[in-house]
Amino acid sequence: MYFILNPNGKQVRTTLDQHRVEYVEVREGKPAGQHLTNAIWVSDAKDVAELSSLLAEQHYRTPLRGIFSVHESTMLTAALLRMQLGLPGTSVDETLPFVNKLVMKQRWRDAGLPCADSILVDQNSLSTATRPKVLKPILGASCIGTHRYDIKALSSLALDTPVELLVMEDAIDVVAEFHVDTVRDTGVTTFVAASQYLRPPLRASLAHGSCILRQGDPHYSRLIELSALALDALGAKEGVFHLEILLNADGELLLGEVARRPGGSDIVRMIELESGLSLMAEHIRLSLRTKDRLPAQPPGAPNPEYRTGRVLLRVQPGRVAATTSMDLLRGVSGVVEVAQHLAVGDLIDETGPPFVATCSVMLKVRDLATYLARAAEVESMHGCKVIREPSPPILSELEGVQVE
């Protein structure tokens, strides 16, 4: 029996069923109409004390074989529970640099790798800052709680008492942003793909997405090299890793953040269309005990004539009053798949994810320039409208943090 924290939908269950393992999902709250026989509902999936008593009760009935998470918000919790119960899997020390933003950057700097300077926030560092900064929770998940501040705003913050430990980094003038997605199995890299974002993800805009790069594209070789060095510096020997890399105004590539999980926002689907490999299935497979795993499925050779890109159309919080036409999107040249995520009447919560997509569009294109042109065409068809109270934009401009 396996315990899964923060399950991520149908693909997790499908993969576990393929491996023929018993499992229980640990979910927060109990949504109306949600009926799963293999789920335990808790008030906080990060609460080690609450989960310990549930695990003890479950283990008494059916011995546990493992505990794992599909999101960094609960990966440290899973590691602590494994340590407590003596179960195999990634240790606390191995998990820490992938969830603690300060430790992550310290390890990279110690290895001589390029990244923004990062310190633990105190009152003096806020009041004496001489340039814009980015503040984020030290144990952050994705970009939740991450904000960019100018010097005046930092001085005002120095008068407040924070409710959690924060990390402060220099704000970077970002020209372009990339992500590198890697699979490592027993120390061997079995898959790696580099992609360029349509625009830095946390810049407020109607469209978001990325396109897979190929050998010969600008920065491709350095992205692959830098990603391998970054993972080595964090001791990454096994798992699926999603790394953000930034290009600054001086033409230098800098490490942003890395997550020990597949990328979100349909990156998994984009890579599956490109290579036939499911990063989520690999994440689950590599989270199981070795003898419970099915053999790895090698990725297929990409089509040399085309590469895959994705475009997601964003919406702000509120009640959906109109949606984008899926038929119009399917008519764009190069579109191979369109998935609708919102319907009229759906409510987008202000306290939810940093951005929500009304739909996602998958494209097959010959080169990056064609992707950018097709993405602009898709963006021009954005027709989703929401009814909402006046509120700030989804996000101010931020770079270098995990958003996917």
Q: Token digits for 196?
A: 């360029």
At residue 392, the pLDDT reads 43
At residue 396, the pLDDT reads 36
Residues 162 and 180 in one domain: no
Cβ neighbours for 365, distance < 8 A, ≥ 6 positions apart? 211, 306, 307, 309, 334, 371, 374
Q: Is residue 376 domain-resident?
A: yes
Residues 235 and 361 in one domain: yes
CATH number at residue 166: 3.30.1490
Question: Is the pLDDT score of 257 beyond 90?
Answer: yes
Cα torsion angle, 136, 400, 349, 69, sign: negative
Q: Is residue 165 domain-resident?
A: yes
Scan for tokens 């491996």, then name that residue.
19
Residues 165 and 179 in one domain: no
Residues 137 and 263 in one domain: no
Q: What average pLDDT does the structure give for the chain?
A: 87
Segments forming the whole domain that contains residue 75 = 2-96
CA dihedral 72→73→79→80, nearest 10 degrees, is: 160
292-298: Cβ within 8 A, 24+ apart: 292/19, 292/21, 292/65, 293/19, 294/18, 294/19, 296/185, 296/190, 298/190
Q: Which of 132-146, 279-293, 312-326 has the lowest mean pLDDT?
A: 132-146
User: How many whole angstroms separate alpha carbon 403 and alpha carbon 353?
Assistant: 9
Residues 32 and 155 in one domain: no
The distance in angstroms from the start CA to the end CA of the chain is: 29
Helix (H, G, I), strand (E, B) or coil at 183: strand
Query: At 400, is the pLDDT very low, low, confident or very high (cuts 50, 70, 90)?
Result: very low
Question: Is the pLDDT score of 398 beyond 50?
Answer: no
Q: Is residue 303 domain-resident?
A: yes
DSSP-derived secondary structure letter, 262: -
Residues 245 and 138 in one domain: no
pLDDT tens digits, one per residue of 125-155: 888 888 888 898 998 777 777 888 888 888 8
Task: Catalogue the E-assigned strands of 281-341.
Answer: 307-315, 318-322, 335-340
Q: Is residue 107 domain-resident?
A: no
Residues 253 and 226 in one domain: yes
At residue 394, the pLDDT reads 38
CATH number at residue 178: 3.30.470.20
Residues 160 and 182 in one domain: no
Q: Is residue 402 domain-resident?
A: no
User: How many whole angstroms separate alpha carbon 197 and alpha carbon 223?
Assistant: 13
Query: At 391, is the pLDDT very low, low, confident or very high (cuts 50, 70, 90)?
Result: very low
Residues 70 and 152 in one domain: no
pLDDT tens digits, one per residue of 76-86: 999 999 999 88
Residues 70 and 181 in one domain: no
What's the total number of domains in the chain?
Answer: 3
Residues 382 and 335 in one domain: yes
- What is the percent of the chain where pLDDT is above 90? 45
Residues 143 and 190 in one domain: no
At residue 202, the pLDDT reads 67
Query: At 399, is the pLDDT very low, low, confident or very high (cuts 50, 70, 90)?
Result: very low
